[in-house]
Structure 1
């Protein structure tokens, strides 16, 4: 099954994928939420970014160790299979295919449309925004399904582009904030709005969306040249770089306008900050880079989404495995798998709109699909880390016990934080999760049971 996909990506593409999938939307989309969740308390917000980043780095480090030992079709599914057997690998693969990949991809299509509408001056939840989101979704599917090499080049290009506004804001915003006193004022003012619950937990869960996506880079395991060497390098370097640039950007953002103004700005907060530092015209130009940045992230997510059913079918598991593991001779892509990825992403996009952007359509089952699926994947990581400590006897003490133990603690922290942040919504999400997973279990290839 490893021979089905061509080895067409190198280390640069892998690094660009880790950085490019993660950076590009969440840091803009969730920076306002982190600030609001902490009541404008900047140090607490920075701590949330640090904690969320450390959780990502620890988990990525453990998976990078696995990547040096296992190389098959789809990294995370391979690791789950090696740790707990084919059935757990199928469970992980089904979750990634039906919930994780498409829910995040659907949200990212809207986020890209959101900032496009902010740039134009349209309603971010209006019909124009949803049409644009749908167009972005289809375009991302087309480039990945019809020309995967072009998708890889697009990923590298947008990764470079998306760093421009982040680096400029980190440097110029910090310098400006120190010189005009805004940064010092924001640091020392403390919380300016009273918040309920645990602000740090709520903020960390918000950063989880901004940091998520790195695991999707493992979906090209079978298409990565020298994967056992290049994938660990990409995961380790990429995640560390992301944490540094996010924290510096968040600090630079705090040097542009007062926390109260940023919180009141809502979806236009980032554009307001860029315009104040770089003038109205310059801010608009840099905001175009933000939109491109979001599209780069969407491209990376769709890259994983299109390979979801294939990762199961390549193991002769799941519904109609013979159909979904077929590779198109012209594009070298699993076309049928890609079509399902687009369909599921579209469904989750509609759900996100109905649950979060308008009067809730689904009653108590209207939850935030940009955050809760992320927390679920951390729960599913835990058995893999535990079995790694049990099975990998050839590894040293740090890689076998210390790192996986830290990763387990990080995952438990994320689960607890999600319960504090979302309350009963977690229960209703888990009901939906259970139903989808039950369907997946029923559709598992009988020969694999």
Structure 2
């Protein structure tokens, strides 16, 4: 369904703030641990990874926005890929989001939420009950309707900016500034070339959310002019915030100490403000992560609901039902249960890396799709065209391909096995699609015959 009824009332400022709000989430508070672990406790390449991933994200946002503006339909990336490559690949996108990306991301956030909560209350044995309990609580709240989810989102968005601002300001004011920032690039014995892909997959988790930016095109007064400005401006601002807070972390604690704690932001906050102040900042971080989890539980089930409404998901009769609040309650509960299964691993970095690896395969297809659409449909109305074509799309394609291939082949046996598992789970969608399509065709024939 085309967004013909959308009012074109978004200006530059509103669009830019929306970009920033959609991207800044929980990753910036926790991913430095994975980053500095990969570098062996050295700061230099870790800091560079935040800049490089930011540039990749900007090229990705600028490229994908052309498809979003040219195909103004509800459903996001799944619809773009279906329009460009056909129904089967479109379905595979939605399948991957339903069984891998959304539940793994929700589970990763739930695990890190539980780690922080158990650290506050001093009882690590409650990690899994809190992780699963937070998922089920948010799922329950989201069955009350999108308005409830929206309120949680608004409150948490405000709260996530408070710990960010306090750490950035007081980190530089009260930190010693004696720690190394750019040297060494990696610790002795660590090969910089072999860890760069690992660093990027970690940092790109913090930048994720940019794919939603293109959806703004239908509501902008002048998308051709303002959308690239909003994307470049918004994502550059996010990159500046991420770079600044990581410099603030290092201003207070050295990289090898940040590598040793699961919550670097909380450790830095405690070093700055003392135990009580640190706990207060941790509460702010908890609210931010809770809101981030809510965002994924608000949007993810709607992908499952869309597939169920097309009768291509097993159990679609159950998943397609709306409750009295007109919320896809069954799809929400199903995704929450799947996320709870993932959360049993208790591994934040493993889950978030799996989610990002899986989704970036389809991001790259989206970038290639921009060039394919230019060739196949040169006369298609494009309210916005990616600047510096084809350079920007090529940077997005090559960067994304590097991240995916590196994770699959060169990031160590454990990472390769997990990535292969992600590919296999995604590809299971093909026989599921074929089976459900055949079943639907048979059902249609029976109905016509009767």
* TM-score (ref. length: structure 1): 0.82
2:447 is matched with which residue?
none
Q: Is the 8 A contact 1:84 1:384 kept in 2?
A: no
Q: Number of paired residues?
A: 422
CA distances 1:56-115 after superposition (whole Å, capped 9, x unpaired): 222122222222222323111111111111111111011111111111111111111111
Identify if the C-alpha distance between structure 1 residues 17 and 444 changes in structure 2 by more than 3 Å, giving closer, same or farther.
farther
CA distances 1:116-163 after superposition (whole Å, capped 9, x unpaired): 11222232xx3x011111111012112222131121122122112111
Point out the more displaced range, 279-288 or 76-85. 279-288
Identify if the C-alpha distance between structure 1 residues 435 and 206 changes in structure 2 by more than 3 Å, giving closer, same or farther.
closer
Identify if the C-alpha distance between structure 1 residues 191 and 143 changes in structure 2 by more than 3 Å, giving closer, same or farther.
same
In the alignment, does 2:38 pair up with 1:37?
Answer: yes
* Deviation, structure 1 residue 345: 1.3
1:379 is matched with which residue?
361
Q: Is the 8 A contact 2:41 2:255 kept in 1?
A: yes
State which of 261, 267, 274 in structure 1 corresponds to 2:262.
Answer: 267
SS, match of residue 325 in structure 2:
coil
Q: Is the 8 A contact 1:205 1:417 kept in 2?
A: no
CA distances 1:357-416 after superposition (whole Å, capped 9, x unpaired): 9xxxxxxxxx92320331222222333322321223255573753332221112112123
SS, match of residue 332 in structure 1:
coil
* Deviation, structure 1 residue 244: 1.8
Q: Which runs of 5+ in 2 are unaligned?
A: 443-450
* TM-score (ref. length: structure 2): 0.82
1:416 is matched with which residue?
405
1:445 is matched with which residue?
437
State which of 419, 423, 428 in structure 2 corresponds to 1:429.
Answer: 419
Point out the more displaced range, 85-94 or 188-197. 188-197
1:342 is matched with which residue?
336
Q: Is the 8 A contact 2:63 2:370 kept in 1?
A: no
2:172 is matched with which residue?
174
SS, match of residue 41 in structure 2:
coil
Q: Which runs of 5+ in 1 are unaligned?
A: 358-366
Alignment of structure 1 residues 35-434 onto 2, 5 Å: 35-123=36-124, 126=125, 128-177=126-175, 180-183=176-179, 185-188=180-183, 191-192=186-187, 194-195=189-190, 198-215=194-211, 226-227=218-219, 238-264=234-260, 266-267=261-262, 269-321=264-316, 323-328=318-323, 330-350=324-344, 352-353=345-346, 356=347, 368-392=350-374, 393-394=378-379, 398=387, 401-418=390-407, 419-423=409-413, 425-431=415-421, 433-434=423-424
Q: In the aligned structure 2, how far is the partner of 1:377 from the partner of 1:269?
A: 26
Identify if the C-alpha distance between structure 1 residues 238 and 390 changes in structure 2 by more than 3 Å, giving closer, same or farther.
same
Q: In the aligned structure 2, how far is the partner of 1:444 from the partner of 1:236?
A: 42
* Deviation, structure 1 residue 175: 3.7
Q: Is the 8 A contact 2:104 2:354 kept in 1?
A: no
Identify if the C-alpha distance between structure 1 residues 383 and 205 changes in structure 2 by more than 3 Å, giving closer, same or farther.
closer
Identify if the C-alpha distance between structure 1 residues 100 and 235 changes in structure 2 by more than 3 Å, giving closer, same or farther.
farther
Q: Is the 8 A contact 1:143 1:151 kept in 2?
A: yes
Q: In the aligned structure 2, how far is the partner of 1:383 from the partner of 1:189?
A: 36
Identify if the C-alpha distance between structure 1 residues 191 and 411 changes in structure 2 by more than 3 Å, giving closer, same or farther.
closer
Q: In the aligned structure 1, how far is the partner of 2:185 from the partner of 2:415?
A: 29
* Deviation, structure 1 residue 285: 0.8
Task: State the Cα RMSD in Å.
Answer: 3.3
Q: Is the 8 A contact 2:81 2:90 kept in 1?
A: yes
Q: In the aligned structure 2, how far is the partner of 1:323 from the partner of 1:2?
A: 27
Q: Is the 8 A contact 1:61 1:236 kept in 2?
A: yes
Q: In the aligned structure 2, how far is the partner of 1:324 from the partner of 1:260?
A: 47
